Structure 1
Amino acid sequence: MDRLHLEERILNLVSSQNMCVLATARPEGPLATPVRYFHLDFALMFSTLPHRRR
């Protein structure tokens, strides 16, 4: 798949959602937290407060 097509698919995906799960791996086991996000091109901005865009 060429880069332009891949970038278009990525932007379509982040535009169609506003929630994701951030996860870390720790010695005690994984920790996952749902968070809201919005995007500016390929930069994701995360928020834990509903309807907050700063």
Structure 2
Amino acid sequence: KPVSIAMMPFAGKGIDLCNDGDPICSQGRNPFAHTSYEKTPLVGQAAGFVSSLL
């Protein structure tokens, strides 16, 4: 996704990890998508990203 001007100072310091269908972080309509992150590879991706910043 493009980075907005207000977020430019934070570019490269965050990643967008959103389950398909999650109504909280996307236009999804599946409430269970928001409560199932621990069952997806997104947890490992987030951990890998954070560790790369250390």
TM class by shorter chain equals: under 0.3
Indicate the structure (1 or 2) with the bigger Cα radius of gyration.
1
TM-score normalized with structure 1 length:
0.26
The alignment's TM-score, normalised by the length of structure 2, stands at 0.26
